[in-house]
Structure formats: C-alpha cells, structure tokens
C-alpha cells in the first residue's frame, strides 16, 4: 500500500495498524497528519505517513476562517480556508470541540456548510480551534435549513430573507465578511 494522502484523510482503523509517525488517532480511526504518502511497516504492522511538502503549521492564536465539513455531538470537523486572512499553503483539517464553544451539543450550534471564525488553540496536528476568549469568533456565514438562502444577521439572530425563518446561533460580529480569495 502506497497512497497519496491529504492532512486529515482517513487511512485506516486501529484494529488494522499501529500508528506510526505522521499519523494520528481519533475515535478509533487513523488519519494522516500531512500531505504525504502512506507506508506500511509490515513487521510492526504500523502505518507511517511520509510528508511530501514542507508544512507550515498554524500557530496558536492565529485567526482561522473555516468551512464546517461535518458535525457530531461533541465536535465539528472543519477545513481551514484562511489563516490570518491569508490562504494557507497547506490544507488543514481542524476540529472545534463542543467544550471550546461552549455547548453540550454541537448540533445546536453548527451544521455542515457553514463558515466559522475561530482561533487556533493548538498548533499540533490535528489543529484544534476554539471560540473561547475571542470576541470575533462565531458563525461567519450560514444558510437557511428550509430554503437554502444565505441568512442575514439581525441583531443576535440570523434571519432568512426569503422565507423569514429565524435562527439563534453564536454569531461573529464580522458575520458575512469573508476574506478575499476563492473558497
Ligand atoms: Zn429560508
């Protein structure tokens, strides 16, 4: 097995392999930390990721704009679109845990396809995001569950300009302002 992988890509499960350098475990699955190639060390039954690109890791305190890819009760998995308003040189998957929001249930706060603003809490892979002690953090762009229209911020609520449905969410004061560049 030799395969090109991206950061955060699932490369196996813990029942199959031990985790070697360049990989990490989350919830029983093994993920790549880097852009790289997977190698399997058959003697030790472990999977290794050899990086193919120099990695510039996000640093603690960096401001991230991220697209929500998936949501579970305890966390949201995101892809970083901008770091300090620049498109990052590498693609990073980043996790926002419910304890950093704070909420008990991430489903109450986020849904896939939303864009959020957050700060980088830890520069280790996988990158962890937080909304704690951050006045700019929150939802940066959201859409209507009913009709798909982009929502407008109206005070502390979000409102659908097409069907009038309202949503209560932690909204960034910069709601609607997406940094320049292609998403
Ligand atoms: Zn609507």
Residues 103 and 44 occupy one common structural domain: no
pTM beyond 0.75: the answer is no
Q: Which residues hold their Cβ within 5 A of ligand 1, which is an ion?
A: 144, 146-147, 149, 160, 162-163, 165
- pLDDT-derived band at 52 (thresholds 50, 70, 90) equals confident
Q: What is the CATH number of the domain that holds 163?
A: 2.40.50.140
What is the distance between the alpha carbons of residues 160 and 144, in angstroms, rounded to a whole number? Answer: 6
Query: Is position 141 within any domain?
Result: yes
Per-residue pLDDT tens over the stretch 160-174: 999 999 999 999 999
Ligand 1 centre distance from Cα of residue 115 (Å): 17
pLDDT by residue (tens digit) across 65-101?
999 999 999 999 999 999 988 888 778 899 999 999 9
Q: What is the structure's pLDDT at 183? A: 46
**Residue 155, by phi and psi: left (phi above 0), alpha (psi -120 to 50) or beta?**
left
Its domain, for residue 148, covers 63-168
Residues 99 and 119 in one domain: yes
57 C-alpha to ligand 1 centroid (Å): 38
The C-alpha atoms of residue 47 and residue 179 are separated, in whole angstroms, by 37
Q: Kindly report the CA angle at 55 between 50 and 61, in degrees rounded to 5?
A: 135
CATH number at residue 44: 2.40.50.100
């Amino acid at each position: 097995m030799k395969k090109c992988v991206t950061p955060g890509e699932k490369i196996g499960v813990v029942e199959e392999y031990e985790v070697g350098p360049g990989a990490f475990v989350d919830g029983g699955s093994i993920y790549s930390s880097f852009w790289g190639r997977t190698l399997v060390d058959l003697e030790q039954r472990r999977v290794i990721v050899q990086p193919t690109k120099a990695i510039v890791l996000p640093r603690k305190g960096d401001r991230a704009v991220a697209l929500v890819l998936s949501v579970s009760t305890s966390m949201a998995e995101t892809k970083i679109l901008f770091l300090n308003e620049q498109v990052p040189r590498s693609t990073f998957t980043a996790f926002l845990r419910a304890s950093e929001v704070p909420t008990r249930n991430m489903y109450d706060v986020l849904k896939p396809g939303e864009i959020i603003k957050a700060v980088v809490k830890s520069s280790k892979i996988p990158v962890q995001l937080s909304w704690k002690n951050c006045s700019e953090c929150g939802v940066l762009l959201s859409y209507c569950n009913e009709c798909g229209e982009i929502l407008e911020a109206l005070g502390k609520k979000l409102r659908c300009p097409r069907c009038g449905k309202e949503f209560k969410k932690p909204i960034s004061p910069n709601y609607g302002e997406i940094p320049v560049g292609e998403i």
